[in-house]
Amino acid sequence: MKISHLACLALAVLCAGCVDVDKEVAASPQEYWQPVERAQPAPLTPLPAAPANLTAAPLTLPALVDIALTNNPLTRVAWYNAKSAADRLGQTNSQYYPQVTLNGTVDRDKVRVVGLNGQNQGVGTTYSTFYGPSIEINYVLWNFGKNYALTESARQALYAADYDYNQQIEDVILDTELAYFNFDAAQGFVAAAQATLDDANTNYKAADQRLTAGLGTRPDERQAFAQVQSAEYQLYLAQAQVETTRAQLAQTLGITVTADLKIQPSEKMADATSLDENIDNLMATAMRERPDLMAAYANYLSAQYSVSAAKDDRWPVISAFADGTYGYEFGGVTTGNPTNNYMVGLQLSWQIFTGFEKTYAILNAEDQAEAARATLHAQQLKVVTDIWNYFYSYKSALQQVGAATAQVDAQQEAYNAISAGYNNGLNTYVDLLTALSNLATARQQKVQADANLGASIANLAHATGRIPITPVAAQTP
């Protein structure tokens, strides 16, 4: 009967561990899996509400940066990663303190004495119970620098995490700036499209009036009407792009998108030429201040200390130890009397052979250090490339703004002249249509050139690691 009960218990445990895979997944590769109740996640943390100053007035770029640094979750991720690295450093520092262990023991002993050679004195079975606390203290006095190497490795890892946090702040600032310029450019495209639509409507009215007066042709009137519809189409596209860039800006800010999110248009950057420094100076600044480069260097130093720790682990460990026990025994030779035992001493422990584990640990640490060295070298190359690209992108963007501004002025004058000539019968509608198309293109290029200049300045500042963070009080719109 007992065997039968054990068999049933074993069978029940076995069945409990079985999984019916056909019921745990979708019925076929073409069907949607229906989550079971226990697979449903707990209610997610609600997204942060829009700041109170969001509806007060259109926001300036510094105000947007302040909101992003407050709400963007990526900065919190980097901050908690840095705090975790600080915790690991604290764990490593625990090696410098003695390890104290408190135990409580209750045991039941059985001693059976068997007589030999006919000696029966004391033969029999004795039972005894012992209970009481004990304490153990171990303190590593010397392990040939391993503790120091481990601590310094953790400290450099903490520095790397702090630099990564700084880099994340700069990344959030850059993302906010780029989202701001994209949103501003989208609104500029709407204004340009609206101006083109207004001109197209004016031309359509002029073509319709000429047709009514018998001075124009039906094809010209139809072309004018088609131009109005094309301008409306472009306006709708531009308006949709405004909402897309508004949502992208809200995501960068770390808030839910709302129609109340409005910005002040970017002004002409009169001081843009102040960034026209020597490219070698910018590279030198980046080599000193780029947080991601400093993080790569700290990671390399951390890996170097890990190599030292792995090598120091091959040598003996000298420790001091002490332990004491206080307890009572019943049924034994000390029944009813407390026992008090203690021991102190020094210990030398040396793992002579561990199956080459320590050898491979050293090789692994050295390989990780070489990988960190290569990563540092790659980051240095990236810094140089970023400075080079964004420096010349900035200079090109500055020239593009000048050329685009002159082009708009010239195309506006040309359009005005051809429009007047068309009304006087000196130009055809094809001439007017071409002039309006050229003017619309010039307006769009001017908007894009302004956005490119703002983005190039932001990218160049980010590449040098010199993005300024103004005080919160100065970021109020």
| pLDDT tens sequence for the chain (477 residues) | 455 666 666 666 566 566 677 778 888 888 888 877 777 777 777 776 666 666 668 899 999 999 999 899 999 999 999 999 999 999 999 999 999 999 998 988 887 777 666 566 666 777 888 888 999 999 999 999 999 999 999 999 999 999 999 999 999 999 999 999 999 999 999 999 999 999 999 988 988 888 888 877 888 888 889 989 999 999 999 999 999 999 999 999 999 888 888 998 876 554 444 455 688 888 988 998 899 999 999 999 999 999 999 999 999 999 999 999 988 888 766 666 788 889 999 999 999 998 999 999 999 999 999 999 999 999 999 999 999 999 999 999 999 999 999 999 999 999 999 988 888 878 888 888 899 999 999 999 999 999 999 999 999 999 998 765 443 333 332
For residue 338, the cross-strand partners are: 328
Check if 54-97+143-315+353-475 and 99-142+317-349 are the same fold: no
Residue 463's CB is within 10 A of a number of other CB atoms, namely 27
Structural domain boundaries in the chain: 54-97+143-315+353-475, 99-142+317-349
Which CA distances in Å does 127 have to 107, 108, 114, 130, 334? 11, 7, 15, 10, 12
Predicted pLDDT of residue 277: 62
Give me 392's structure tokens. Answer: 């010349």
CB 172 within 8 A of CB 164: no
Closest CA to 265 of 187, 189, 191, 193: 187
User: Amino acid identity, residue 139?
Assistant: Y
110: helix, strand or coil: strand
The H or E element spanning position 136 is strand 124-142
Predicted pLDDT of residue 300: 97
Cα separation of 104 and 431, whole Å? 100
End-to-end CA distance of the chain: 85
CATH class of 99-142+317-349: mainly beta
Give the helix, strand, coil percentages of the chain, each rounded to 5: 65, 15, 20
233: helix, strand or coil: helix
Predicted pLDDT of residue 443: 94
Q: Which CATH superfamily is domain 54-97+143-315+353-475 in?
A: Outer membrane efflux proteins (OEP) (1.20.1600.10)
Predicted pLDDT of residue 469: 46
Residue 408's CB is within 10 A of a number of other CB atoms, namely 20
47: helix, strand or coil: coil
Closest CA to 462 of 177, 189, 41, 67: 177
Predicted pLDDT of residue 310: 96
User: What distance lies between CA 260 and its chain's CA centroid?
Assistant: 27
